[in-house]
Amino acid sequence: MGDLGYGDSVAVDGICLTVEEILKDGFIATASPETLRRTTLGKEHTEPRYVNLETSLRVGGKVGGHFVMGHVDGIGCMVSAQQTATAWEMTFTAPDAIARYIVPKGSIAVNGISLTVADYNPEISQFTVAVIPLTYAETNLRYLVNGSWVNLEGDILGKYVEKFLKFPPNANREEITPAFLAEHGYL
């Protein structure tokens, strides 16, 4: 974060915040009431907290994972974490506002980390991700315990698809519905 400047965006556990002041060992940002309501910043924590920090993508920079906007949709909770031979399988709850965007092999951001959904159980609104050792070691996922709160951000593509299905761009055109998509070979 050596090139961090006034007004820059920094994701703190996936929450996009604006740098208002730079300190020797950090920075100051203000969280709005909406941000506090929607994210773990508004939760009381009794244990020490470690957060993921990431500066915003610069034009021309590499894009890895999926597009994470830093606009957290809500809070989930870790249900379990189990180490396997090659990864950590971590299961989280998701509120309905986010659950509707979760699909197996789709993307979700947990504390700002772009992850692939390995499994999803819509009946209990839980999803599982497989976290590789590098991601586990370099993020705060390794500090989570059962019951830990996490910030969740659904995939932006799912949000736009939902919007276009609800509100067709031009009333004179045929409405885009699941039936329309299936008829034209998209489902």
Q: pLDDT by residue (tens digit) across 137-156? A: 999 999 999 999 999 999 88
One domain, residues 96 and 178? no
CATH code of 34's domain: 2.40.30.20
Is residue 3 domain-resident? Answer: no
The percentage of the chain sitting over the pLDDT mark of 90, rounded to a whole number, equals 60
Is residue 26 domain-resident? Answer: yes
One domain, residues 130 and 172? no
Q: What is the pTM of this model?
A: 0.83
**Residue 33: which domain range?**
9-56+69-154
Per-position DSSP letters for 131-142, written without gaps between them: E-HHHHHHSGGG
| 55-91 residues labelled b (16+ CB within 10 A) or e (exposed) | eeeeeeeeeeebebbbebbbbbbbbebeeeeebbebb
Is residue 63 domain-resident? Answer: no
One domain, residues 124 and 37? yes
Per-residue pLDDT band at 171 (split at 50, 70, 90) = low
One domain, residues 150 and 88? yes
Is residue 61 domain-resident? Answer: no
One domain, residues 181 and 96? no
One domain, residues 173 and 184? yes
Whole-number Cα distances in Å, 186 to 17, 101, 116: 38, 18, 22
Q: Tell whether the model's pLDDT for residue 34 goes beyond 90.
A: yes
Distance CA 140, CA 51 (A): 6
Distance CA 122, CA 96 (A): 9
Pairwise pLDDT comparison (152 vs 60), residue with the higher score: 152
Domain count, the chain: 2
Is residue 62 domain-resident? Answer: no
Is residue 34 domain-resident? Answer: yes
> What pLDDT, in 10s, does the model give residues 64-108?
766 777 789 999 999 999 999 999 999 999 999 899 999 999 999
Give Cα 33 to chain centroid, integer Å: 19
Whole-number Cα distances in Å, 23 to 28, 32, 35, 47, 145: 7, 21, 22, 24, 31
